[in-house]
Amino acid sequence: MHERIKTERERLGYSQEELAKKLGTTRVTQGKYETGKTQPTTKYLLALQDIGADIYYIFTGNPSSNSLSIEEQLLLKKFREFDKLQQGMLLNMFINGKENEQKEAVQTTTINFGGIGNQTAGRDINNGR
How would you write the pLDDT of the chain (129 residues) with one tens digit per residue? 999 999 999 988 999 999 999 999 999 999 999 999 999 999 999 999 999 899 999 999 988 866 667 787 788 788 888 999 998 998 898 888 765 545 545 454 444 444 454 444 444 455 555
* Domain match, 55 and 81 both: no
> How many separate domains does the chain show?
2
Q: Which range of residues forms the domain containing residue 75?
A: 71-112
Report the candidate in 65, 71, 5 with the shortest Cα–Cα distance to residue 32: 5
* Domain match, 7 and 38 both: yes
Report the candidate in 122, 87, 126, 117 with the shortest Cα–Cα distance to residue 106: 122
Task: Please state, in angstroms and rounded to a whole number, the distance separating the CA atoms of residues 61 and 32.
Answer: 19
SS3 call for 124: strand
pTM greater than 0.85 (yes/no): no
Task: Please state, in angstroms and rounded to a whole number, the distance separating the CA atoms of residues 25 and 96.
Answer: 46
